[in-house]
Structure 1
Amino acid sequence: MTRLSFDHLTLWITAAASEHSHDLPGHVEERTGASRRAVLAALRRLTEAGWLKRSGSARRPVYGPGGLRQVARSYTLHGLQEDLPWQRDFAPHFDLPRHVERMIRHGFTELVNNAADHSGGSSVTVSLRQTPTHVQLLVSDDGIGVFDKICTAFSLEDPQHAMLELSKGRLTSSPDAHTGRGLFFSSQLADVFDIHANNTAYQRRAWESAGWRRGKALPRQGSSIYMAIALNTTRSLDAVMEAWSLAGDGIEFDQTRVQLRLLAGEGQPLDSRAQARRVGLRLTTFRRAEIDFEGVTDVGHGFTDELFRVFAKAHPQVELQPTNMTPRIAALVKSARAG
């Protein structure tokens, strides 16, 4: 007789409860091959744990999704249209605040589209979970890996440099078909955002001013991207987009932030012109760039001269706004600008 795995049941019981509310025991019995007794025991346990709600009479129970909800599905990437899985397989089974639903839908469709158009893989697995406090999305593909893809497309040598470019936004290897907004804005919408790809990981926490930092990588091929949003967040899709638009209307994505700690690492100096040129890479696609020195303890004359004099004079249309500088770094920047 088939044994029922509680963890496996949670992957599909939400959708089953929505679609088979009046005959859930029979559906689970037919789907799993387990005995009626085992199924009823499992449903009782799922109800007690918050995965199901039960109403109706003892002889004619009616089930529905509980406070805990989850749907996990896998798809072939070839020809996948990212809006259809959301509309058909996920959205009907969740109960989210409207502004949160809009943000997680944005992340869902953008991340699934990225997997379909950029990963070079054959399949993607998507899991969406709702708890009493958060909604959590995990999108995993079996492709080349996001950092390797960026390094190849932009002739970069290091996944750390790929993360630097990702963090700026407007990064795409297919400019004729994409604007490079999807992954960037998905990360800004989330309270927790993790990128894992081929033994490299970076994470962002909305409550930390430091922005992106190294994480503990998952040992797998391809990309896995996780985002979580608090159900009581005051954040909204419109507000996030407006924050990166100089006009404040969310139409243009024309300002960015460059985290210099992604270039050199925590506590490491920035002292070469080559490093400064990496900072300036693609900044001409923006009108304003915050150059964030948080975590950088020292810089060299060559770095500040290349960025704040050479680049600035060559591209006067780009406003460079340095922040979080030590007194010495501020003096070097001032000297370079006066040169």
Structure 2
Amino acid sequence: MSKSDIIKNFILANVQKHPRDIATVLADKFNFSRQRAHHYLKKEVKSGNILKTGRTRWSQYFLASGSYVEFIEKIKPGLAEDKVWSQYVKPIILSCPENIYRICAYGFTEIFNNAIDHSKGTTIFSDIKIKQNVLTIRIIDNGVGIFKKIQKALKLDSSKEAILHLSKGKFTTDPSNHTGEGIFFTSRMFDKFSILSSDMFYTFQNEDWFLSPEKNEEFGQGTLIKMEISLKSKKTPKAVFDQYTDQEIGFGKTIVAVALSADPNDPHVSRSQAKRLLLGLEKFKTIVLNFKGVSSVGQAFVDEIFRVFQNEYPDITIHYFNANEEVDSMIKRGLSNR
């Protein structure tokens, strides 16, 4: 075995343990300069065996065929999510099943692009980890925060209301450049999709949004998006798209968690609550209301949805499910009065 091969094997065997100081470890092992060590590292990067992230003293190295990579990008003109995907993320995920690869390609590029275009931050940190057959992607920006931005755009009383509008799909603060579909579809492709911002941690899992008890005390300003999926998952992007789209009208169906439209301690009774719930839903052909977690509803709330809104948009079909006996009774009473 040549000396070059010995050095190569040493790099590949030790880079995961020493992502930040592999050049020093390499130089000490073979008794040559750090400049010489960087020459060998550059050679392995060029050959595609290892990934280099960061620049100068912030450089880190990771196995291209490994199970972890992290990087930071400055938000500036020219930063493109597809280039970041190809340079840092794709090599780690190439060995995954094709459906997982496609889901990650869609999810990463959608969410990374959101951070570039919407966060108003200066940097984006991301890491990708594969552990115990679960792949996790995190994308973190230091911007204004997704919930605060939506609150300001819609003039909402509380940033808590923002998750309701975000969860519907087709909502965006920049309609000329974005469809608002990214988070809706990404959250349904992954097994678990979480958003941490403004001290609120919402998770979408098993077709439902809920306020997560998890907290990250070290997290400051901005938005953290975390996406998790089992490598054994059989989901495909096509199956998820097909569930909510029509060949003629495109993205035409949405499922809305009614519980998100009011504080857990407040009953769903008023027309104004119903109007907040319905905001933007006229863009869809089919609306499915999930009443899970809603203990009771008022006559005005029901009337606004099932009579007033329905009369205004007669071509829209409204379905509902997960209603308890009391809620179901109120809805049926409202439907009979149409």
- TM-score (norm. length: structure 2): 0.79
Aligned 1:30-41 pairs, distance under 5 A: 31-32=23-24, 36=28
- More displaced, 22-31 or 135-144? 22-31
Match of 1:156 in 2: 156
- State whether residues 82 and 109 of structure 1, in contact with CA within 8 Å, keep that contact through their aligned partners in structure 2: yes
1:255 paired residue among 253, 256, 272 = 253
Change (3 A) 1:273 1:130: same
- More displaced, 219-228 or 329-338? 329-338
Secondary structure at the aligned position of 1:311 is classed as helix
- More displaced, 315-324 or 140-149? 315-324
1:99-145 deviation line (CA, Å, top 9, x unaligned): 10110111111111000000000110111112240111000000000
- State whether residues 67 and 130 of structure 1, in contact with CA within 8 Å, keep that contact through their aligned partners in structure 2: no
Amino acid at match of 1:119: S
Q: CA deviation at 1:193?
A: 1.1
Match of 2:85 in 1: 86
Change (3 A) 1:161 1:320: same
Aligned 1:64-103 pairs, distance under 5 A: 65=63, 69-79=67-77, 80-94=79-93, 95-103=95-103
- Alignment: residue pair count: 293
Amino acid at match of 1:147: F
Secondary structure at the aligned position of 2:156 is classed as coil
Match of 2:299 in 1: 301
- In 1, distance between residues paired with 2:84 and 2:121? 18
Aligned 1:237-256 pairs, distance under 5 A: 237-245=237-245, 247=246, 252-256=250-254
- State whether residues 70 and 127 of structure 2, in contact with CA within 8 Å, keep that contact through their aligned partners in structure 1: yes
Secondary structure at the aligned position of 2:251 is classed as coil
- State whether residues 143 and 223 of structure 1, in contact with CA within 8 Å, keep that contact through their aligned partners in structure 2: yes
Runs of 5+ consecutive residues of structure 2 not aligned to the other structure: 1-6, 31-61
- In 2, distance between residues paired with 1:251 and 1:92? 36
Match of 2:284 in 1: 286
Q: CA deviation at 1:83?
A: 0.4
- More displaced, 175-184 or 212-221? 212-221
- In 1, distance between residues paired with 2:239 and 2:22? 47
Match of 1:41 in 2: none
Provide the identity percentage: 29
Q: CA deviation at 1:250?
A: 9.8
1:184-241 deviation line (CA, Å, top 9, x unaligned): 11111111111001211101223xx543334434341100100011001010111111
Match of 1:61 in 2: none
Amino acid at match of 2:240: V
- In 2, distance between residues paired with 1:327 and 1:311? 23
The yes-or-no answer on 1:112 pairing with 2:120 is no
- In 1, distance between residues paired with 2:81 and 2:98? 20
- State whether residues 119 and 141 of structure 1, in contact with CA within 8 Å, keep that contact through their aligned partners in structure 2: yes
- TM-score (norm. length: structure 1): 0.79
- State whether residues 159 and 200 of structure 1, in contact with CA within 8 Å, keep that contact through their aligned partners in structure 2: no
- In 2, distance between residues paired with 1:269 and 1:30? 59
Match of 1:4 in 2: none
- In 2, distance between residues paired with 1:298 and 1:31? 63
